[in-house]
Amino acid sequence: MDNYWVNALWSVTPTILVGLVFWAIVRSIIRADRGERAAYAELESVERVRLGLPPAPRPGSAAAKTSAPE
């Protein structure tokens, strides 16, 4: 019976490790994208102020939905 559990553990271990590596890679991509979006939004707001433009509408607001070209 001991051999059964050792074999079961060795069978599941590679799947778990590959899953953890995949999770870590996807998490780092998502976090990097979030950081890039924040940096771009900051840069855009600074440039809008510099050019005297109104602030950009927020992505979920009604102004963003109505100002989109059709």
Is the pTM above the cut of 0.85?
A: no
- Quote the pLDDT of residue 59: 74
Per-residue pLDDT for 9 more than 70? Answer: yes
pLDDT digits (tens, 9 = 90+) for 22-50: 999 999 999 999 999 999 999 999 999 99
- Spatial CA neighbour of 29 closest among 21, 58, 59, 41: 21
pLDDT digits (tens, 9 = 90+) for 48-59: 999 998 888 877
Angstrom distance (rounded) from CA 15 to CA 4: 18
Q: How far is CA 47 from CA 22, 34, 51, 54, 56, in A?
A: 37, 20, 6, 11, 11
Three-state DSSP class for 38?
Answer: helix
- Quote the pLDDT of residue 65: 62
| Residues 16-21, mean pLDDT to the nearest whole number | 97
